Amino acid sequence: MAYNILIVDDSQTMRAVLTKTICMAGVEIGSVFEAENGREALDILEKEWVDIVFADINMPVMNGVEMVKAMQKLGYMESTPVVVISTEGSKTRLDALRDMGVRGFLRKPVSPELFKSVVDGVLLGNAGEVGDSAANGPTTDASAGKSGGDAVTDNGSAAGSEADAQ
């Protein structure tokens, strides 16, 4: 099944990197939509069918948290899962996002393998725990993402790349 994906990030470079990562991950793509901020993302969600949203937290105009709150209010969170992709990864922030209905978290930079694992976990419900960060949860150490980032899915499990386990 081909997925329609919305990437929300104020950096054009990051949107291009994420699009390339999606392709490298082997995720079957129908369409990739891009938005520079939460407001643009809401406009796209109003007009287009989107299977999954990947959003940064820190953006101008409307940040990722404000976007998620607006999606809740409009009823989009029930049918369109959101995965946050950010350099920010504090446990407090992750817990708050999870409480708002965010289904996963990826810490930048994201490897194609980790990206595919999270997409499968969120859309197909078969999230596998990879690496040893699952037992410890996500870390806030800036070096934790050096080999492909960390991920947290909606069931609270964390996944890191296999290189993280070594």
Instruction: Give the DSSP per-residue string, 34-66.
Output: EESSHHHHHHHHHHS--SEEEE-S--SSS-HHH
Count how many domains the chain has.
Answer: 1
Task: Identify the three-state secondary structure at position 85.
Answer: strand
Per-residue confidence (pLDDT) for residue 126, from 0 to 100: 58
Find out whether 55 and 82 touch, Cβ atoms under 8 Å: yes
- Burial (0-12, 13-18, 19+ Cβ within 10 Å), 156: exposed
Name the pTM for this structure.
0.77
The enclosing domain of 19 has a CATH number of: 3.40.50.2300
Q: Which helix (H) or strand (E) segment is 155 a member of?
A: none
**Digitized pLDDT (tens) for each residue of the chain, 166 residues in all:** 899 999 999 999 999 999 999 999 998 999 999 999 999 999 999 999 999 999 999 999 999 999 999 999 999 998 999 999 988 777 888 888 999 999 999 988 889 999 899 988 898 875 433 222 322 233 222 223 333 444 444 444 444 433 333 3
Find out whether 161 and 148 touch, Cβ atoms under 8 Å: yes
**Extended strands (E) in the chain:** 3-8, 29-35, 52-55, 82-86, 104-107, 150-153, 158-160
CA dist 103 and 77 (Å) reads 9
Q: What is the pLDDT of residues 133-151, one digit of tens each?
A: 322 233 222 223 333 444 4
**Structural domain boundaries enclosing 8:** 3-165
